[in-house]
Amino acid sequence: MSMFRTLLAVLAIAISSPSWAVQPDEILDDPVLESRARDISAGLRCLVCRNESIDESNADLARDMRLLVRERLVEGDSNEDAVAYIVDRYGEYVLLRPTTEGANIILWVAAPVMFLIALGSAMIYLRRRGRAPEADKSGLSPEEKRRLQELLKE
């Protein structure tokens, strides 16, 4: 029961609390804008860090970029506009989620295509295995029969 209550409490927080920015003084007053800013910054890479989004990073540059994102949003940019603005300034490198433009389409379709190929070959293999000639009526090859004998002796 207490676990259920905790579950509800956790749910309540997840619903009620707005998202907060990384530094207290960066947070925008408008919670809707702020939450949009958080979403955007989670998808932008910190340029000087190894592999962190600007939302997670403590670097000064990341802070500048966070402030820039918020500035754009306050000025009325849509999420796409704000991201486009950042990409214009810092390049495609900042996008943690690669675009689907140009050769990147290979990256995006690679997984489904590979899956279909693998599934297709597996199906063909399974079909063939299913139809492979059985050794004799018992379905056991002589080898398997011998091994069965051996196992029964054990």
> Residues interacting with other proteins, by CB under 8 A?
3, 6-15, 17, 19-25, 27, 43, 45, 50-53, 56, 58, 91-98, 102-104, 107-108, 110-111, 114-115, 118-119, 122, 125-127, 129-130, 132-135, 139, 141, 143-144, 146-147, 150, 154
Smallest distance from other proteins to CB 79, Å: 14
Q: How far apart, in whole angstroms, are the C-alpha atoms of residue 45 and residue 88?
A: 14
Q: How far apart, in whole angstroms, are the C-alpha atoms of residue 117 and residue 138?
A: 34
Q: What residues contact residue 139 under an 8 Å CB cut-off, 6+ apart?
A: none
Q: Give the Cα-Cα-Cα angle 139, 143, 147 (nearest 5 degrees).
A: 95
Nearer to other proteins, 80 or 129 (CB): 129
Nearer to other proteins, 6 or 78 (CB): 6
